[in-house]
Amino acid sequence: MKYALIGCGRIAENHIKAAIENNLELTAVCDIDEEHMEELLCKFHLEHDTDILRYCDYKEMLFEHPELELCAIATESGLHAQIALDCMESGVNIMIEKPIAMNMEDAEKIIRKSEEHGIVVSVCHQNRFNEAIQAVRRARETGRFGKLSHGAVHVRWFRDEAYYKQAPWRGTWKLDGGCLMNQCIHGIDLLVWLIDAKPVRVYGVTRQRQHPYLEAEDAGMAIVEFENGVIAEIEGTTNIYRDDLEECLLFCGEKGTVKISGTSANRVDYWEFAEGDNTDREIKTLDERTINIYGNGHGRLYADVISAIKEHRQPCVDAKAGRNALEIVLAIYKSQKTGNPVELPLKNFSSEDMETVKLV
């Protein structure tokens, strides 16, 4: 399957690794900065491979290579939607780094276009493929929790000035958002996917306490109400002193409670059910090794997308999943802006609508 990567920055390494693992044909890489392309290829000893085409303009690449079957988009977040729409216009299946877009309208456009053109669109919420998360999903699907009471996600990480100053797009409303949009959105995706009900209302508060050079938030908290009565709590921050502490999730049901922890939801902390299962013993001690905060999921996400393309089915993390996680983040932003709870579905809200808000 002919594959190209657009955006060769920090996360790009995970994409190339996943593409190689999944036997994709690396046809082209694209970045506005030629050095970024070469540095990336160097990491995989591919710098002398002249079969891999290099482009500084993704539109030129799409025009010259209509045979491309899959493109990954790993540019700054504010560019995802336009590049995604252009790829789809050229008939290419896509994997979009999170977040899918920076506003609801763009996310809906991507969903519509993928349906109209029969194009596979996946969003890189790769932690869904963590072993611990897959185990929770199975327990939810088989009804082991009974009636769910509530859930929670805490993404408590550390990002310092050096991280934010790596690139001018970081922490801006237009191109990135803050800790909820960039970091916590992974956990929010997991929370919503595992509660598996329609969210109807969001109460949110955000702050910017320790990174005055950012436009956006570095701490946020929210309560989400779901249509079946379940409530969930969200805490996201990059203000932990001085390391990534945890990304943890809690699901509390009448017949079972589970807590997943580790730095990227990769470890089972608590796993108790009224009715036992022969997999429980193994799951209780599950602690998946990860080499960094991004986890092991990109390769598994790629495998799912490739089979979705071959089998003409939706991928596990489709465009609607990307939209749903984005909706919660934007609803928290809107709630901070208005001082009121926000009813869902959310329409026409953009991270740029926060530009007039002074966070304290």
Ligand X SMILES: NC(=O)c1ccc[n+]([C@@H]2O[C@H](COP(=O)([O-])OP(=O)(O)OC[C@H]3O[C@@H](n4cnc5c(N)ncnc54)[C@H](O)[C@@H]3O)[C@@H](O)[C@H]2O)c1
Interaction site with ligand X (CB under 6 A): 6-12, 30-33, 36, 58, 74-77, 79, 97-98, 124, 126, 167, 182, 294
Nearer residue to ligand X within complex by CB, 185 or 344: 185
Nearer residue to ligand X within complex by CB, 195 or 301: 301
Angle between helices 104-117 and 80-89 (to 10 degrees): 20
Instruction: Give the separation between CA 141 and CA 196, rounded to whole angstroms.
Output: 9
The residue type of 353 is: D
Tell me how far, at minimum, the Cβ of 87 lies from ligand X, in Å: 12
Nearer residue to ligand X within complex by CB, 75 or 130: 75
Nearer residue to ligand X within complex by CB, 35 or 311: 35
Instruction: Give the separation between CA 204 and CA 342, rounded to whole angstroms.
Output: 8
Residues pairing with 226 in the sheet: 199
Tell me how far, at minimum, the Cβ of 7 lies from ligand X, in Å: 3
Q: What residue has token string 């990954």?
A: 72
Residues pairing with 250 in the sheet: 152, 259
Nearer residue to ligand X within complex by CB, 92 or 283: 92
Beta strand 53-55 with 25-30 is parallel
Instruction: Identify which of 103, 102, 107 has the alpha carbon closest to the alpha carbon of residue 78.
Output: 102
- Whether residue 29 contacts residue 9, with contact meaning beta carbons closer than 8 Å, is answered with no
The residue number whose beta carbon is nearest to ligand X equals 9
What are the E-state strand segments in the chain?
2-6, 25-30, 53-55, 70-73, 93-97, 121-124, 148-156, 199-207, 219-226, 231-237, 246-253, 256-261, 267-273, 342-343
Residues pairing with 30 in the sheet: 6, 55
Instruction: Give the separation between CA 22 and CA 334, rounded to whole angstroms.
Output: 40
Instruction: Give the separation between CA 360 and CA 352, rounded to whole angstroms.
Output: 18
Nearer residue to ligand X within complex by CB, 256 or 295: 295
Tell me how far, at minimum, the Cβ of 170 lies from ligand X, in Å: 8
Sign of the CA dihedral with 74 first, then 75, 81, and 87 last: negative
Nearer residue to ligand X within complex by CB, 98 or 259: 98
Nearer residue to ligand X within complex by CB, 42 or 274: 42
Instruction: Give the separation between CA 265 and CA 198, rounded to whole angstroms.
Output: 23
Nearer residue to ligand X within complex by CB, 86 or 280: 86
Tell me how far, at minimum, the Cβ of 58 lies from ligand X, in Å: 5
Tell me how far, at minimum, the Cβ of 124 lies from ligand X, in Å: 4
Tell me how far, at minimum, the Cβ of 298 lies from ligand X, in Å: 7
